[in-house]
């Protein structure tokens, strides 16, 4: 197995709800909206959370008004916090750890998201000039994510993300250089509802771009940098995202697509895409 294949097979960077304590269902707040049927405060268990930490409506989240739950992914932070940092002892078994555990969880999620990006960058042949730096950053971030609660809560996550982002930006430049022509720079652009069907966006910088409801049907997004891009309800039917950089499962799941949408290795076609096509 090649290093790239090993990198892309990181199952530990996918949420494993069976090894978690329902942390996202308790620690995180949400407001009643098109994504959530109710309002819930941070630290309050969702009424659908079962005593065994399963979801009582898991099979019907979207029709029940909890589309936001189907989009969310913790990048494996849930099982990391539950099984590694707290050694399999839940907040129900040890109520004194509850507040701390709920505060540690989002920190670890941020770190695991960074590991996802570093893993993606390491899987690219084009980033060979910075592989040593990427490996070092990945190892350091994994060490942080396995640290003690007090160390995690003392970490300045924003500052650390900026530090790692220097490497990710360089990796992005190397990958986007694979695209022909002069790539477009749409970093942070307001492209809500934009008509981009069939657009040539190869190698484009779309970092933090607002692509909510954008028509990207049949667009070519190979070698584009999609870190932080908001793809909610973006139409990706028939789009080509193979080799798109820093794309995540939550971004795909928030968008609309079909069987003709081509996506990077290591990601899955969202189940609701097939349902939406019926």
CATH code of the domain covering residue 261: 2.160.20.80
Domain identity same for 12 and 103: yes
Tokens of residue 113, six digits? 């998201």
Q: Supply the pLDDT for residue 11.
A: 81
Whether residue 49 lies inside any domain: the answer is no
Residues whose CB is less than 8 angstroms from the CB of residue 63 and which lie 6 or more positions away in sequence, other chains included: none
Whether residue 16 lies inside any domain: the answer is yes
Domain identity same for 14 and 125: yes
Q: How far is CA 100 from CA 89, 90, 93, 105, in A?
A: 13, 12, 14, 9
Domain boundary among 176, 203, 224: 176
Per the structure, how many domains does the chain have? 2
Domain identity same for 172 and 204: no
Whether residue 238 lies inside any domain: the answer is yes
Domain identity same for 214 and 93: no
Whether residue 62 lies inside any domain: the answer is no
Q: Is 56 helix (H, G, I), strand (E, B) or coil?
A: coil
Domain identity same for 127 and 250: no
Domain identity same for 213 and 239: yes
Domain identity same for 112 and 246: no
The region of weakest confidence among 121-125, 133-137, 182-186 is: 182-186
pLDDT in tens, 181-226: 988 999 999 999 999 999 999 999 999 999 999 999 999 999 999 9
Q: Supply the pLDDT for residue 274.
A: 82
Domain residues for 111? 3-28+72-176
Domain identity same for 170 and 185: no
Domain identity same for 119 and 170: yes
Domain identity same for 22 and 156: yes
Residue 173 has pLDDT above 50, yes or no: yes
Task: Determine the average pLDDT of the residues in 32-51.
Answer: 95
Domain boundary among 176, 198, 215: 176
Percent share of the chain, pLDDT over 70: 96
Whether residue 231 lies inside any domain: the answer is yes
Sign of CA dihedral 34, 38, 39, 44: negative
Domain identity same for 143 and 202: no
Cβ atoms < 10 Å from Cβ of 6: 12
Whether residue 241 lies inside any domain: the answer is yes
Domain boundary among 126, 152, 176: 176
Whether residue 44 lies inside any domain: the answer is no
């Amino acid at each position: 197995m090649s290093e790239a294949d090993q990198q892309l097979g990181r199952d530990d960077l996918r949420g494993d709800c069976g090894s978690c304590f329902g942390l996202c269902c308790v620690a995180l707040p949400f407001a009643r909206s098109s994504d959530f049927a109710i309002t819930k405060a941070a630290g309050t268990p969702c009424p659908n959370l079962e005593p065994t930490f399963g979801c009582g409506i898991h099979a019907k989240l979207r029709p029940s008004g909890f589309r936001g739950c189907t989009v969310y992914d913790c990048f494996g932070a849930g099982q990391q916090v539950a099984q590694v940092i707290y050694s399999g002892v839940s907040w129900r078994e040890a109520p004194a750890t509850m507040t701390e555990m709920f505060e540690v969880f989002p920190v670890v999620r941020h770190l695991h998201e960074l590991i996802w990006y570093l893993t993606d960058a390491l899987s690219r042949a084009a980033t060979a000039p910075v592989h040593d730096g990427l490996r070092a950053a990945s190892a350091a971030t994994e060490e942080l994510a396995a640290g003690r609660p007090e160390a995690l809560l003392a970490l300045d996550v924003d500052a650390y993300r900026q530090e790692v982002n220097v490497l990710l930006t360089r990796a992005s430049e190397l990958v986007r250089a694979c695209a022909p022509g002069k790539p477009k720079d749409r970093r942070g652009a307001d492209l809500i509802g934009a008509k981009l069907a069939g657009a040539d966006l190869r190698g484009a910088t779309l970092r933090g771009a607002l692509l909510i409801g954008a028509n990207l049907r049949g667009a070519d997004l190979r070698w584009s940098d999609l870190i932080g891009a908001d793809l909610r309800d973006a139409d990706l039917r028939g789009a080509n995202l193979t080799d798109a950089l820093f794309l995540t499962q939550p971004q795909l799941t928030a968008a609309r697509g079909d069987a003709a949408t081509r996506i990077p290795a290591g990601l899955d076609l969202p189940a609701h895409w097939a349902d939406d096509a019926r």
